Structure 1
Amino acid sequence: MLKSFVMNDTTKPQVRFFTVTQDDDGQRIDNYLLKTLKGVPKSMIYRLLRKGEIRVNKKRTKPEYKLVAEDVIRVAPIRVSEKQTTVSTQLNVVANLEKQILFEDDRLLVINKPSGMAVHGGSGVNFGVIEALRALRPQATMLELVHRLDRDTSGCLVVAKKRSALRNLHEQLREKKVQKFYHALVKGRWSNKLTRVTEGLKKNDLKSGERIVVVDNINGKESETRYKVLQYYKGATLVRAFPVTGRTHQIRVHCQTKGHPIACDPKYGHPEFDAQMKEQGLSRLFLHAASIEFNHPLTNNRIMVEAPLEPSLQKLLNKLTQEKP
């Protein structure tokens, strides 16, 4: 990702030089420094830029400057905290992450994210998938999330290993070239004719600090989810959901508003239905990112990666009584 060398005694703050590689070409310098100077507060980086203590090719620069390959960045002596996020290797979910990798090459990897694990640390969570991967792969020069999944949702999560791959995949997301398919177990019998839900969605922050999403076709953001029935069960339906847009909690709220909340959804669920599913052994939200399709950033070949259901979800389906269409 970057080449660097330092001057002076390593026990003191020292001048640092970074040479921009092709992978970081076009990135804003403030974002580059936030990623590179670990432990340095954002406010300090902007102050150093303003004072000219960070220079590019020996010249002062502004935070919005876009880097060019082979630019040389000089950072004046500052104390940099290199403390890394501590990841408990005693947690089975972290230790088993390596086994959950579904696809990997030198540009990206796709992992089957476990339910209950955040994609990144923050908001009371010490670490997430990305921090755990960085701890498990200390030799990797870059690992960045391409997209996100809710903490309770399992399944396909794409991580970029090169800046160029991250840019490419973000562009594909903007242009809707990435297709993500989810499997959800919902309450009741979903109609075969209900193939599209287009309710507008709006985020609401409660006084408790909890964020929920509500249907609002006037002030909410345009949203669309397409559905297909996969299997009917007694009192429930397994559906495939394809979110055309990518709003927060989109699939969960669209299911709820049509009278078919997802099993064991702590925010938008149905108490009686959830109780029935818990009696059958379900202890998590039944929403799984089953597959993802995109163009490979290097070859442009279309690839699809599938993530199998975790054993607890498959075990539940095996217990339920199937019904005919």
Structure 2
Amino acid sequence: MQFLTVPEELAGQRIDNFLQARLKGVPRSRIYRILRKGEVRVNKGRVKAEYRLQAGDVVRVPPVRTAAQAPAPVAGDQLRRLVEQSILYDADGLLVIDKPAGLAVHGGSGVRLGLIEILRQMFPQSPFMELVHRLDRDTSGAIMVARKRSVLLHAQTELRAGRVGKSYLALAAGKWPRGRRLVEAPLRKNTLKSGERMVSVDPSGKDSETRFQVLERFRGATLVSAEPVTGRTHQIRVHAQFVGCPLAGDAKYAPDEVNCAFREQGLKRLFLHSARVSCSLPGGEKVSIEAALPEELESVLAALRESGGL
């Protein structure tokens, strides 16, 4: 039997979600069952699944058997150091990480360990650690993580209102159309038989909007900044493909011959980088954090400038 005192950071969280985070591997149906039977008590009393915890509540959690599971993966010292060195901001309940390309933001779909799991292992004293938004695994750069529930709820409200700024740097194949600063094209997610997730422009999809600005032109390529107004899966990548300029190194949405040409310039990954995030904190303070373009992408631009293009 466990007796857990609810910290201030978790005030307002539903009891079912609180238990789900602590009873790893236990089906949600089982959690609802132990709540209905009164096996879980808050301040010695029964509660329903929708009960919202208060700071200082004492939760009695009964022992619950789970199916045999493989041990949870543990981040090695090298991976922890990489993430620690990538911290750009850590104050007022907000973390901003300069996520390396190739690191998933969370485990699942064949990925055993993601950024959020690594952070929870690095900061075991933090009772709350949740992603504010997401980045594709192959995308590098600034990503926000909340260390307080109040920060997460505030950030989610700001995201829905379009008051969170996100700016990306991307290298697009071909000549970006002059005057094309806004792409409005509905996006729909599809899952192939192989299980691979793809996104396409489809009239039946969700409204999606991205603002683009040309920063530098090369022969056969264009460096652009991209600011997603909406936050759909693969939005920047698919909108760039939609205007005929898929992103360099994009194995999903760019033709093989395009990616082959960029590999000859030294590009070994998707050229998409979260360069800046900005938001307000619950107290009203404004925060704007920048993540420098990684050296492996800077070197590709240097090669293009030296050669004049592809």
Q: Report the 3-state secondary structure (helix = DSSP H, G, I; strand = E; otherwise coil) of the residue aligned with 2:277.
A: strand
- Correspondence for 1:313: 297
Which of 198, 203, 206 is 1:212 aligned to?
198
Give the % identical residues. Answer: 52
Do residues 302 (structure 1) and 270 (structure 2) align? no
- Correspondence for 2:83: 97
- Correspondence for 2:72: 85
Matched to 1:89, the amino acid is G
TM-score norm. by structure 2 comes to: 0.92
Do residues 231 (structure 1) and 228 (structure 2) align? no
- Correspondence for 1:249: 234
Q: Report the 3-state secondary structure (helix = DSSP H, G, I; strand = E; otherwise coil) of the residue aligned with 1:321.
A: helix
Rounded Cα–Cα distance in structure 2 between residues aligned with 1:69 and 1:89:
34
Rounded Cα–Cα distance in structure 1 between residues aligned with 2:176 and 2:153:
38
Per-residue displacement from partner, 1:4-60 (whole Å, max 9, x unpaired)? Answer: xxxxxxxxxx2x222333322221110011113345443321111121101223332
TM superposition shift of 1:138: 3.0
Q: In structure 2, list runs of 5 or more residues that go unmatched.
A: none
Q: Report the 3-state secondary structure (helix = DSSP H, G, I; strand = E; otherwise coil) of the residue aligned with 1:164.
A: helix
Do residues 240 (structure 1) and 247 (structure 2) align? no
TM superposition shift of 1:137: 2.7
Q: Report the 3-state secondary structure (helix = DSSP H, G, I; strand = E; otherwise coil) of the residue aligned with 2:125.
A: coil
Matched to 2:72, the amino acid is T
Q: In structure 1, list runs of 5 or more residues that go unmatched.
A: 1-13
Matched to 2:173, the amino acid is K
Per-residue displacement from partner, 1:172-229 (whole Å, max 9, x unpaired)? Answer: 1111110100111001111340000001111111111111111112x11001000100
Rounded Cα–Cα distance in structure 2 between residues aligned with 1:158 and 1:82:
31
Per-residue displacement from partner, 1:280-305 (whole Å, max 9, x unpaired)? Answer: 111100011110010023x3121110
Matched to 1:255, the amino acid is A
Rounded Cα–Cα distance in structure 2 between residues aligned with 1:140 and 1:77:
23
| Contact residue 182 and residue 241 of structure 1 kept, 8 A | yes
Rounded Cα–Cα distance in structure 2 between residues aligned with 1:141 and 1:22:
9
- Correspondence for 1:182: 168
Q: Report the 3-state secondary structure (helix = DSSP H, G, I; strand = E; otherwise coil) of the residue aligned with 2:222.
A: strand
- Correspondence for 2:10: 24
Rounded Cα–Cα distance in structure 2 between residues aligned with 1:31 and 1:200:
32
CA shift in 2, pair 1:136/1:60, >3 Å: closer
Q: Report the 3-state secondary structure (helix = DSSP H, G, I; strand = E; otherwise coil) of the residue aligned with 1:209.
A: coil
- Correspondence for 1:43: 29
Per-residue displacement from partner, 1:235-268 (whole Å, max 9, x unpaired)? Answer: 1000000000001111000000100000011110
Do residues 282 (structure 1) and 267 (structure 2) align? yes
- Correspondence for 1:144: 130
Per-residue displacement from partner, 1:141-197 (whole Å, max 9, x unpaired)? Answer: 322111110000011111111111111111111111101001110011113400000
CA shift in 2, pair 1:83/1:272, >3 Å: closer
Per-residue displacement from partner, 1:83-139 (whole Å, max 9, x unpaired)? Answer: 87323426x454311111111114111010011110011111110111122223333
Aligned length: 307
Rounded Cα–Cα distance in structure 2 between residues aligned with 1:105 and 1:59:
36
Matched to 1:310, the amino acid is P
| Contact residue 19 and residue 73 of structure 1 kept, 8 A | yes
CA shift in 2, pair 1:75/1:88, >3 Å: closer
Q: Report the 3-state secondary structure (helix = DSSP H, G, I; strand = E; otherwise coil) of the residue aligned with 1:283.
A: coil
Rounded Cα–Cα distance in structure 2 between residues aligned with 1:73 and 1:138:
19
Rounded Cα–Cα distance in structure 1 between residues aligned with 2:45 and 2:103:
44
TM-score norm. by structure 1 comes to: 0.88
| Contact residue 188 and residue 235 of structure 1 kept, 8 A | yes
| Contact residue 38 and residue 82 of structure 1 kept, 8 A | no
TM superposition shift of 1:78: 3.6
Q: Report the 3-state secondary structure (helix = DSSP H, G, I; strand = E; otherwise coil) of the residue aligned with 1:229.
A: strand
Q: Report the 3-state secondary structure (helix = DSSP H, G, I; strand = E; otherwise coil) of the residue aligned with 1:254.
A: helix
Say which is worse superposed, 219-228 or 162-171, in terms of deviation: 162-171
CA shift in 2, pair 1:295/1:183, >3 Å: same
- List structure 1 segments (4+ residues) > 6 angstroms apart after TM superposition: 80-84
